[in-house]
Amino acid sequence: MRTIINQKADSPALPELRNLGTVLRVLLVVNAVALVAVFARESRWEALADAWVDTAAIVEPHLLVGVLVLYVLAPWLERLPYQTGAVAILGLVLLVTLLLDAALGKLGIDVGPSGLLRHALLSLLLTGVLLGYFYLRARALSPAIAEARLQALQARIRPHFLFNSITAVLSLVRTEPRRAETALEDLADLFRVLMRDNRQLAPLADEVALCRQYLDLEKVRLGERLQVDWHVEKMPGDALVPPLVLQPLLENAVYHGIEPSSGTGVIGVNIFLRRGEVHAILRNPYKFSGNHHGGNKMAVDNIRERLALHFDAEASLESRINRDSYEVHIRMPYRAAQQEDERV
């Protein structure tokens, strides 16, 4: 399982070398350091631009090739224990530096033996600093992941849903005992997921199954008022997603879109894979009236935060209000569950 930060609190992990967030941070830090170096070396303002161009001509090729090599070797590197991995990365960066300098030498830009040594030391130093930065960042964020579980618990399941559902189940017990049984089983499954440790990513198919059980329960309560339009044929069921990334949004959809109206309302669920990204679009009817409760923002903020913790810049959540509907669009990187992954 790969996430931008380490999921087991005790053992450090390498940064995720293929994550957009990691790559952006590396590019930014290295360029910032180069800029500082240029400022420190060049005292004349008018010469700054030239000095920057000279420096960039050396720094950028090293940087880009280095990032690219690490990107390519990421799957192998990330399987190594932390220390070995860190040493391997340092070694790779050193190798890239030396090979590039040799190649540049062939092109007539000879840096000389002292230049070679300087480049080697600089790239090792910078890589070390970056590894240290990512290590500290992971350390700083891992309590946040633990926190995310707590938040997840708080932001989900309005108490009124539980008590109204129990009332609905009770109304079935005497007349339709079999439906009551199914409803109680759904309720048990739902709460099993709610109460477990939700820090690990889980397959999308599981999340969708949970959503169906949840909506079945709501249907017992709301009857014909609730209609659901599923479009999940093109969904990658094996994609790993944060647990409870969709269910709270559906709960919002029911609360804000179905309950305020005595008529029938349709909730649309559309999940598909496009260009290596999982898209989930949820839509519900929405009529602005001052009469109904707010509180929608909390669930949305909570999910956005958890997406950022798991996927950094590679995931997003956007919501918008159309003329008579409310729509949430989630975008996540497609990461397939591997067979050896432990399934919950």
Partner 1 sequence: MSDAPLKVLIVDDEAPARRRLRELLDDCAGAMPLVVVGEAASGREAVGLLGSTPTDLVLSDIHMPDMDGIELARHLLKLPVPPVLIFTTAYHEHAIAAFEVHAVDYLMKPVRVQRLLAALEKVPRLKPLTGARLDRLPAAARRFLSVTERSRVVLVPIEDVIYLKAELKYITIRTAEREYLLEESLTKLEEEFGARFVRVHRNCIVARDAIRGFERHVSAEGDAHWEVLLRDVAEALPVSRRQQYIVREIGRGDDV
Binding interface with partner 1 (CB under 8 A): 159-160, 162-164, 166-168, 170-172, 174-175, 220-223, 259-262, 290-291
Nearer to partner 1, 187 or 235 (CB): 187
Choice between 171 and 338, CB closer to partner 1: 171
Nearer to partner 1, 143 or 295 (CB): 295
Q: Is 112 or 295 the residue whose CB approaches partner 1 more closely?
A: 295
Beta-bridge partner residues of 279: 272, 331
Q: Please state, in angstroms and rounded to a whole number, the distance separating the CA atoms of residues 30 and 89.
A: 16
Closest distance of CB 227 from partner 1, Å: 16
CB of residue 174 to partner 1, shortest distance in Å? 6
Backbone phi, then psi, for 327, in 5-degree steps?
-135, 135
Instruction: Answer for the pair 310, 242: CB distance below 8 angstroms, yes or no.
Output: yes
Nearest distance from residue 224's CB to partner 1, in Å? 9
Least distance (Å) from partner 1 to the CB of residue 261?
A: 5
Residue type for 228, please? V
26 CB neighbour count, 10 Å cutoff: 21
Q: How far is the CB of 234 from partner 1 (least distance, A)?
A: 35
**What gap in Å lies between CA 224 and CA 124, rounded to an integer?**
65
CA 63/CA 255 separation, integer angstroms: 50
**In 232-333, alpha helices (H):** 247-252, 296-311
User: To 5 degrees, how large is the angle CA 123–CA 86–CA 17?
Assistant: 80
CB nearer to partner 1: pick between 154 and 167 = 167
Least Cβ distance, residue 257 to partner 1 (angstroms) = 11
Residue type, 127: T
Nearer to partner 1, 256 or 310 (CB): 256
- Give me 240's structure tokens: 């790993």
Which tokens sit at 303? 């999910």
Question: Running DSSP on this structure, what letter comes out for residue 337?
Answer: P
Q: Give the residue with the Cβ less far from partner 1, 156 or 335.
A: 156
Separation of alpha carbons 189 and 213, rounded Å = 8
Handedness of CA 79, 83, 84, 87 (dihedral sign): positive
CB of 249 to partner 1, least distance (A): 21
